[in-house]
C-alpha cells in the first residue's frame, strides 16, 4: 500500500514536471533548474 | 528509480512547492487585509500568462516569494481603492491589452538560464498561445464593457494590472529589476 502511494505521488510529480517543461516557465517568480533529462 | 527519473520527480516537487507556497503566502496576506478576491485575480492572470510567455525570474525562493507576494498585494490594494472609479472606463478596459501585445510581440516567449526553450516548435507554440491569451483577454474585456457588467469589470481591472506587470517582466528592464532584487536577497542570505 505504502509503495503504491509513493509511486502515485511520484507519478503526479512527474506530471507536474512535464507540464512545467512544456510551459515557458514557472507560474510564479521562482524557476527551479530544469533537469538535463527534460532539456532533450 | 534511475537518476533521470529522480531528477524529474525532484523538479516536479520544486515546481509544486514554489507555486504552492506562493499561492499560500498571497492567500494569507490578502485575507489579513480583506482583499482576497482582488489578489487572487491578479495572481491567476499573472500565473497563466507567465506559463505561456515566460519572463524574468528570481534566483532564490525567498526572494521570489517576497517580491511576488508584495507586488500582487500592492496591485490588489490599488484596485481596491481605484478600481471602482477606473474599472468601467473604456481606456482602462482596452489599453492594457494593446500595451501587453508590444512586449509579447518582441520578447515572448522569454526564457531564463534555469529553463532554456531550445525547441523552435515549443517556442512557436508558446508565442502563439501568448498572443491568443492577450486577444481572448481583450475580447472578454470588450464583452464585459459592452454589457456594462461593472462588478466583473472591477475584477477585469485587477487582471489588467497583472497582465501589465507580467508584460513588463518580459522586457530587458523587467529582467534587470528582478536581477537587482535577486541580488538583494542573495546578499542577505550570504550575510
pLDDT in tens, B113-147: 888 888 899 999 999 999 999 999 999 999 999 99
A39/B12 Cβ within 8 A? no
Q: How far apart are CA B35 and CA B31, in angstroms?
A: 6
B83 neighbors B27 (Cβ within 8 angstroms): no
Three-class secondary structure of residue B54 per DSSP: strand
A29/B57 Cβ within 8 A? yes
Question: CA-nearest residue of chain B to A26?
Answer: B51
What are B28's three cell numbers? 494569507
> What interface predicted TM-score (ipTM) does this complex get?
0.88
The H-or-E segment that residue B42 falls in is helix B36-53
B150-183 b/e with 16+ CB inside 10 Å = b?
Answer: eebbbbbbbbbbbbbbbbbbbbeebbeebeebbe
Query: Mind telling me how many Å the CA of B146 is from chain A's nearest CA?
Result: 31
Q: Is the pTM of this model over 0.90?
A: no
Within an 8 Å CB–CB cutoff, is residue B88 touching chain A?
Answer: no
Residues 28-57 of B with CB under 8 A from A: 46-48, 50-57
Q: What is the pLDDT of residues A1-30, one digit of tens each?
A: 888 999 899 999 999 988 888 888 877 777
Give mean pLDDT, residues B91-111. 93
Neighbours of B106 (CB within 10 A): 11
The residue among A8, A29, A1, A30 whose CA lies nearest residue B9 is A8
End-to-end CA distance of chain A: 34
More confident residue, B81 or B2: B81
Amino acid at each position: 500500500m505504502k509503495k503504491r502511494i509513493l509511486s502515485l505521488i511520484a507519478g503526479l510529480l512527474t506530471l507536474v514536471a512535464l507540464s512545467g517543461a512544456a510551459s515557458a516557465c514557472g507560474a510564479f517568480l521562482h524557476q527551479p533548474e530544469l533537469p538535463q533529462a527534460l532539456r532533450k | 528509480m534511475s537518476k533521470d527519473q529522480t531528477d524529474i520527480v525532484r523538479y516536479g516537487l520544486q515546481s509544486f512547492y514554489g507555486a504552492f507556497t506562493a499561492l499560500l503566502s498571497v492567500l494569507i496576506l490578502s485575507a489579513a487585509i480583506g482583499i482576497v478576491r482582488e489578489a487572487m485575480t491578479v495572481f491567476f492572470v499573472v500565473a497563466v500568462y507567465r506559463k505561456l510567455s515566460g519572463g524574468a525570474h528570481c534566483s532564490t525562493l525567498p526572494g521570489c516569494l517576497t517580491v511576488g507576494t508584495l507586488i500582487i498585494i500592492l496591485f490588489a490594494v490599488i484596485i481596491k481603492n481605484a478600481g471602482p472609479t477606473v474599472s468601467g472606463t473604456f481606456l482602462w478596459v482596452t489599453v492594457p491589452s494593446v500595451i501587453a501585445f508590444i512586449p509579447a510581440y518582441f520578447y515572448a516567449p522569454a526564457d531564463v538560464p534555469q529553463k532554456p526553450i531550445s525547441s523552435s516548435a515549443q517556442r512557436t507554440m508558446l508565442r502563439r498561445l501568448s498572443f491568443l491569451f492577450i486577444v481572448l483577454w481583450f475580447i472578454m474585456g470588450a464583452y464585459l464593457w459592452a454589457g456594462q457588467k461593472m462588478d466583473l469589470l472591477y475584477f477585469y481591472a485587477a487582471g489588467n494590472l497583472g497582465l501589465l506587470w507580467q508584460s513588463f517582466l518580459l522586457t530587458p528592464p523587467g529582467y534587470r529589476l528582478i536581477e537587482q532584487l535577486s541580488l538583494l536577497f542573495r546578499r542577505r542570505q550570504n550575510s
